[in-house]
Amino acid sequence: MAEIRWGHGLSVHGVDCSVHGVDGIVSSPKTPDSVTKTAKKEKKAAKSPKYEDGVTPNSELYKMILLALQGKAPLQHDGNGKVHIGNGVWISEKTWDDKIRKANVSPSIAVRDVMSKIYTPTEMAERSLEGATPVKPYSSGQKIKKKKMTPQKTEAVLGVYRAKTVAASGSEDPFFLDLAVSKKGKDTFKYKLKEAASALKPKD
């Protein structure tokens, strides 16, 4: 009969064929740090942010816009000189062809051009990304709460930024793109809105 001893390892007929553990419990080999980090990244990427019904996130919209930038698939056309960039947002075909689509137009400039076509200067001056009351009131002391940009328009414009970033960098790494959108993309948004507000702010 085979001799089996439990302790620091498993022995059959005196031959050590164990994986050292603690008193009969075979321990699992340690997972390399690189594997653990990769698993964490994949898990994070798998988590989809929550969006309101009817809103497609920029992380999905950019694919359609990128194909159009590359000339592989045109954007939807309304037959009246406008093209669809997602979430029910339309811009003029001329703006798309003359500005957005050009390779030498940076992602930030593309965002500014799109915003100027979907909002009037007054509408931009009255809005912010999250909706807030200006810290500095007008000379009268009045503070006017700004309207929050709709998620449909926010994600559509950021979809353009994301697609232009891919076209310029050649990278579709989701972590790189998420960082670019959350930092510079949204900063461009805020700057454009602030610029519009400053231009229309009553003089003291």
Domain ranges of the chain: 57-200
pTM above 0.85, yes or no: no
Residue pLDDT, tens place only, 16-26:
444 443 333 33
Q: How far apart are the first and last CA of the chain?
A: 100
Return the closest-CA partner of residue 166 out of 72, 94, 89: 72
pLDDT bracket for residue 79 (50, 70, 90): very high
**In angstroms, rounded to a whole number, what is the distance separating the alpha carbons of residues 62 and 66?**
6
**Fold classification of 57-200 (topology level):** Arc Repressor Mutant, subunit A (1.10.10)
**Which residues are CB-contacts of 68 (< 8 A; sequence separation ≥ 6)?**
74, 75, 83, 96, 101
Top pLDDT among 147 and 26 is at 147
